[in-house]
Amino acid sequence: MVRFRFRRVLGTVAAAITVASMGAVLNAQPAAAADPGPQRVVGGSTATQGEFPFMVRLSMGCGGALYSPNLVLTAAHCVGSTGTNTSITATLGVVDLNSTSKITRKSNYVYRAPGYTGAGKDWALIRLASPVTTLATLPIATTSTYDTGTFTIAGWGAATEGGAQQRYLRKATVPFVSDTTCNSSAMYGGEVIATDEICAGYTAGGVDTCQGDSGGPMFRRDSANAWIQVGIVSWGDGCARPNKPGVYSQVSYFSANIRSAATSLGG
């Protein structure tokens, strides 16, 4: 557990450094540069503009989802401790992080899951300094009804294990993996916290979230065909390896806590 979670955290730090060092390069690129089109990245492809309006890129090198006009749901391991925090920039409304039409907001507060110590409870809310009212939010699952099936994952994280952060939002779909299977000796051998984590991926590997996707949502359609968030990218052993599904915070398990925290934050 510690080994993989530690690797996960290191990956995120490395991703943040990569993003920081990429900044000048990205900003130097012409805004009108052509979309490279579908890429073979963690088995996914490039999302289209507006396809996932709730997706958020965070300046520390994580993903997030717009929970309400002024709150972004992300992973606890992406943020520091609860309190005033004006250091995070959220980028929204674009698949191309270099787009001149991107929306940006500074944070003004971080709420990290109480009791978070690096194992489980991997969720946090970031409050934006001013609301974003032009984008659809992503409702969270409040029951386990949707904690199975086929899930969509999306993010600007690495396209291959150890690879660079991405300019264009990518997406993929991955199947649910039961706690029993995910905790089998062939997979995580008991490292997964069954109550508050949910696994998704292929036994053969090839499709997965990766470094820099942390904090982003895993979601599916509900019975009304609306997107609903069931997971938060949390950890895994590498990316897209055989027998190493992605591990996600199980949003339904925390939904009451997330909702009450959101209320207390004014969102």
Residue with tokens 């507060």: 109
Query: In terms of CB distance, is 8 or 112 closer to ligand 4AZ?
Result: 8
- Shortest gap between Cβ of 208 and ligand 4AZ (angstroms)? 4
245's tokens: 């599904």
Smallest gap from residue 40 Cβ to ligand 4AZ (A): 16
Measured from the CB of residue 169, what is the shortest distance to ligand 4AZ in angstroms? 15
How far is it, in rounded angstroms, from Cα 125 to Cα 113?
8
Which is nearer to ligand 4AZ, 211 or 229 (by Cβ)?
211
From the CB of 51, what's the least distance to ligand 4AZ, in Å?
21
Catalytic: which of 68, 107, 214, 249? 214
122 labelled catalytic: yes
- Tell me the closest approach of the beta carbon of residue 248 to ligand 4AZ, in angstroms: 9
- Among 96, 107, 122, 213, the active-site one is 122
Give the CB-nearest residue to ligand 4AZ. Answer: 236
Alpha-carbon dihedral angle through residues 106, 228, 145, 266, given to the nearest 10 degrees: 40
Helix (H/G/I), strand (E/B), else coil: 181 = helix
Per DSSP, the residues of 189-252 read TT-S-TTTEEEE--TT------TT-TT-EEEEE-TTS-EEEEEEEEE-SSSS-TT--EEEEEHH
Q: Kindly tell me which of 94 and 233 has the beta carbon lying closer to ligand 4AZ.
A: 233
Query: How far apart are the C-alpha atoms of 92 and 15, rounded to whole Å?
Result: 19
The one catalytic residue in 77, 147, 208, 249 is 77
Closer CB to ligand 4AZ, 13 or 256, in the complex: 13
Close Cβ partners of 70 (under 8 Å, ≥ 6 residues apart): 127, 128, 130, 131, 132, 266, 267
How many C-beta neighbours within 10 Å does residue 202 have? 16
Check residue 21 and give left, alpha or beta (phi > 0: left; psi -120 to 50: alpha). alpha
Q: Verify whether residue 214 is a known catalytic residue.
A: yes
Binding site for ligand 4AZ (CB under 6 A): 8, 11-12, 208-214, 233, 235-236, 239, 246
33-50 burial, b for 16+ CB within 10 Å, e for fewer?
eeeeeeeebbbbebbebe
Is the separation of the CB atoms in 42 and 170 below 8 Å?
A: yes
To the nearest whole angstrom, how small is the minimum distance from the Cβ of residue 54 to ligand 4AZ? 19
* Nearer Cβ to ligand 4AZ (147/208): 208
Q: Which is nearer to ligand 4AZ, 105 or 244 (CB)?
A: 244
Active-site residue list: 77, 122, 214
